[in-house]
Structure 1
Amino acid sequence: MNKIFEELSVGMSAQETRLCREEDLIIFANASGNFNPLHVPDQDGDGDGAPESIAPAMWVASLISGVLGNRLPGPGTLYKSQDLKFLGQAKAGETLIASVEIISKGPDREIVLHTVVETTEGRRIVEGEAVVIAPNIKIELDAEHVPGLLVQRHVHFDRLLAKAEPLPAFATAVVAPEEPDALAGALLGGEHTLIDPILIGDPAKIAAAAEACGKDISGYQIVPEFTHKSAAARAVAMVHEGAAKAIMKGHLHTDVLLGQIVKREGGLRGARRLSHVYVMDVPGVDHLLMITDAAINITPDLKTKADIVQNAIDLANAIGVPEPKVGILSAVETVNPAIPSTLDAAILSKMAERGQITGGLVDGPLAMDNAIDLHSARTKGITSLVAGKADILVAPNLEAGNMLAKELTFLAHADAGGIVMGASCPIILTSRADSEHARLASCAIAALYVGARG
């Protein structure tokens, strides 16, 4: 509740505490149009090799407005003037205290206040004097109906890249990088020392793709193969020979590539069925979210689903999630014989309990809401170590998984990397729709998996 002019007296004070987050600096940059790299997280504004993340002085000063508008005098207050003296700088990660104190009252509901912003350690950042018009009617603050903001950042992928880049680059057979987007993705992974690309395909087409995207490929090994099938076969052979530790899809159909990988004689079959795992960085979600299988197994049976789950857990372990929580999805969270996916989910959960699936916590059936939202799970009375906190979402079939992954990508602005698991080496699948960040993330995921396998 605010204080109207008659309720105010000299010496009254109020304060608010605020953590300066990197997201605040991004929001302020967009709102103000000030994209000074000194103030934008992850950018180096002074050339010293490290980002500064200095809070803009006017963002710090705006915290004073928050105290005036929320606390003293409160809702209904209008600024007349504000003078400011900047005494220091604040950075993302610091907690700031904005304080105001009334020093005089004047005619026409005018109030003068001393204003200060300082750190919790007492280091003063801003001081000054505000003149405001105090409210004349009682107003209660209701912030619940103010729209929230979602910052489209992909900090989880940034951490993956930081973790993978120190690892030694591993030889990767890139199959048919004969279009600019396919070639650029492979070269980007090479530039970041994640992979060492070996380009397999038609040399003339690869050269044309390099020219189109402005890349110099003179330092890369090129293996001539003039059909997509023969290029895929050559990549598989290079893995058998020890010349490559991973395969990356270029500009060819996925089934042509996988056809050579799953061949019974000379392929790269492992002990389990192949499955694809999307690793997604979804803005607003505080951890990586993995979705499987959305690319290979169309209508998996129970045995295949068990392999899909184990593949995803193995990948999660490799990228730094020691005991991932696996939600087996269906339309409902109760077992219903009329919905076969609920039966599979219940069996998979029991298999994990009995040690037939290892390395993670598995529960299902779970509907999408109670798999990822703790409030939804509690509302429905679900008691589970997984419900509301799933790291891995296992779709009942390829259609559901593919739609889920693409909805997150195109509606929730997620970046999606990922690899094929279950073969004797990781298979990096990229799409023309992938952002550069997503392409790099796929390479980083493969690098971490190769590193974990030794």
Structure 2
Amino acid sequence: MFTDFHCALTWLKDKHIIKKAAVAAAHDIDVLTSVVSARREGILDAVLIGDAGKIRSYLEQLGEKTDQWEIVDEQNEVQAARHTAVLVAEKKVDMPMKGLLQTSTFLKALLDKSLGLIAENGLISQITVFHYPQASRLMLVTDCAINVAPDYSKKLKIMQNAVSLCHKLGIDKPKVAVIAPLELVNPDIQATSDAAMLTLANMRGQIKNCIVDGPLGFDNAVSLAAARHKGIESKVAGYADILLMPDLGAGNILDKSLRYFAGYQTAGVVAGGKVPIIATSRSDSAENKLNSIVLSVLQSL
């Protein structure tokens, strides 16, 4: 089991695993810093699509020789996203990476049905992975950026995407906490009903390869002391690997709180497609973008 991002990076290097990404709107210093770092670590090669002048300028600032990089001059972000998606569909690269452009523009290109990058009945979802230093382990929060108000069926697919990523991280039977405002089922709060149904489906063997419990409040999902104080007996409470959020608003706020309040290292990936999708926030640090590359390379295996 990988306990942090550096551990995962070291494993990839030891296995001599290298993948190739197409970066849409690559003219951003933090994006290029992460891509250059990944290339120097020997885990990634890349096609850089965007404002060629800015890309070359930033590469030079980073001490790179620009003639050693594949650069495509495309200053229109819609066309840059389209070019990226086509390269992935034609299997000329292994995965797409979002640069300095809107997430909606980036994903719209990838979701074009004619390219076949998403399974017919599939659902893509965003997963934020963070290093939880107090427990020396990685944890997942989902969905923080794509599915706005998922119903039961979508939450099931979002959960399955996160469970699959956990397996890549070496967590054989991840514990899933289905988060809600309170621990009791309240018909007026749909998140509690969804959580109870997911838990029951898991108990009956309809959801496999994980342990699910909910509804759980955020406090007792992550704190064993809080769970015990409330008299909650659970294999998940205090030990959660995955925090399945009730909606995008809650997930997005928690995602940003982990970075800006707690200062945790994070990675943002998109799961559920036929290939990993590196889709970090434009405000993410170069370090967090590198973490996202590491996990996406791992996810592709």
Common fold: TM-score over 0.5: yes
Amino acid at match of 1:231: A
The structure, 1 or 2, with the larger RCO (C-alpha pairs under 8 Å, 6+ apart) is: 2
Q: Bigger shift: 318-327 or 434-443? A: 434-443
Partner of 1:58: none
Equivalent of 1:307 in 157, 169, 180: 157
Q: Which amino acid aligns with 2:12?
A: A
- Unaligned runs of 5+ residues in structure 2 are none
* 1:427 counterpart (257, 277, 281): 277
Over 3 Å counting, the alpha-carbon distance change for 1:309 and 1:446 in structure 2 is same
CA distance in 2, matches of 1:166, 1:240: 29
Which among 5, 9, 12 is matched to residue 164 of structure 1? 12
2:177 paired with 1:321 = no
Contact 1:248 1:428 in 2 (8 A): yes
Paired AA for residue 369 in structure 1:
D
Residue 357 in 1 paired to residue 219 in 2? Answer: no
- The offset of 1:436, in angstroms, is 3.6
Residue type at the aligned position of 2:201 = M
Instruction: Show the counterpart of 2:52.
Output: 203
Supply the distance in 2 between the matched residues of 1:234 and 1:352 (Cα, whole angstroms): 41
Measure, in 1, the Cα distance between the counterparts of 2:202 and 2:125.
19
Aligned partner of 1:265 in structure 2 is: 114
The runs of at least 4 aligned residues of structure 1 exceeding 4 Å deviation read none
Secondary structure of the residue that 1:307 maps to in structure 2? Answer: helix
Identify the range of structure 1 (213-222 vs 413-422) with the bigger mean alpha-carbon deviation: 213-222
Inter-partner Cα distance in structure 1 for 2:57 and 2:154: 41
Equivalent residues of 2:123, 2:272 under 8 A apart: yes
Q: Does 1:188 align with 2:48?
A: no
State whether residues 31 and 289 of structure 2, in contact with CA within 8 Å, keep that contact through their aligned partners in structure 1.
no
Contact 1:282 1:412 in 2 (8 A): no
Question: 1:433 Cα deviation (Å)?
Answer: 3.5
Secondary structure (helix, strand or coil) at the match of 1:288 reads strand
In structure 2, distance between residues paired with 1:428 and 1:192: 18
Match of 2:98 among 249, 255, 261: 249
- In 1, the alpha carbon distance for the partners of 2:66 and 2:162 equals 34
The partner residue of 2:228 within 378, 383, 391 is 378
Return the offset for 1:332: 0.5
CA distance in 2, matches of 1:395, 1:171: 32
With over 3 angstroms needed to count, the CA separation of the structure-2 counterparts of 1:217 and 1:319, relative to structure 1, is: farther
* Offset, 1:418: 2.3
Q: Aligned with 2:113: secondary structure?
A: coil
Q: Please say which structure displays the higher CA radius of gyration.
A: 1
TM-score normalized with structure 2 length: 0.93
Q: Which amino acid aligns with 1:225?
A: E
Q: Distance in 2 between matches of 1:356 and 1:196?
A: 40
Task: Give the Cα separation in 1 of the matches to 2:22 and 2:205.
Answer: 36
What root-mean-square deviation, in Å, do the aligned CA atoms of Structure 1 and Structure 2 show?
1.8
Verify the 8 A CA contact 1:236 1:267 in the aligned structure 2.
no
* Residue number in structure 2 paired with 1:231: 80
The Cα shift of 1:287 comes to 1.7
Q: Percent identity?
A: 37
2 CA distance for matches of 1:253 and 1:212?
25
Structure 1: how far apart are the matches of 2:199 and 2:240?
14
Given the superposition, is the C-alpha separation of residues 401 and 222 from structure 1 closer, same or farther in structure 2, using an over 3 Å criterion?
same
Unaligned runs of 5+ in 1: 1-154
Gap change, CA 1:388 and 1:230, over 3 Å in 2: same
What is the number of residues matched between the two proteins?
298
Query: In structure 2, what is the Cα distance between the partners aligned to 1:348 and 1:394?
Result: 11
Shift of 1:223: 2.8
More helix by share: 2
1:10-409 equivalences under 5 Å are 156-167=4-15, 168-270=17-119, 271-409=121-259
Alpha-carbon distance, 1:267 to partner: 4.7
- What is the rounded CA distance, in whole Å, between the counterparts of 1:433 and 1:383 in structure 2? 39
For residues 195 and 166 of structure 2, the distance between their equivalents in structure 1, rounded to whole angstroms, comes to 20
* Change in 2 beyond 3 A, CA 1:274/1:361: same
Counterpart contact for 2:30–2:286, Cα < 8 Å: no
What is the rounded CA distance, in whole Å, between the counterparts of 2:23 and 2:82 in structure 1? 12
Amino acid at match of 1:221: E
1:446 alignment partner in structure 2: 296
Q: Distance in 1 between matches of 2:273 and 2:180?
A: 27
